[in-house]
Amino acid sequence: MIKIEIYHDGEFYCARCIDDLDIFSQGKTLDEVVKN
């Protein structure tokens, strides 16, 4: 299982892996974050 934290930094939605994997994504909407 991969755990992802999604947050809004004031301008973009960002997603990052909270496990040992180096995963990061961002987008203007939640849909963009998931698509990226």
Q: Which residues contact 5 (CB under 8 A, 6 or more apart)?
A: 15, 16, 17, 18
Residue 31, helix vs strand vs coil: helix
pLDDT for the residue numbered 31 = 95
Which tens digit of pLDDT belongs to each residue from 10-32?
999 999 999 889 999 999 999 99
pLDDT for the residue numbered 36 = 86
CA nearest to 23, candidates 4, 6, 8, 1: 4
pLDDT for the residue numbered 25 = 95
pLDDT for the residue numbered 7 = 96
Q: What pTM does this model have? A: 0.75
pLDDT for the residue numbered 20 = 86
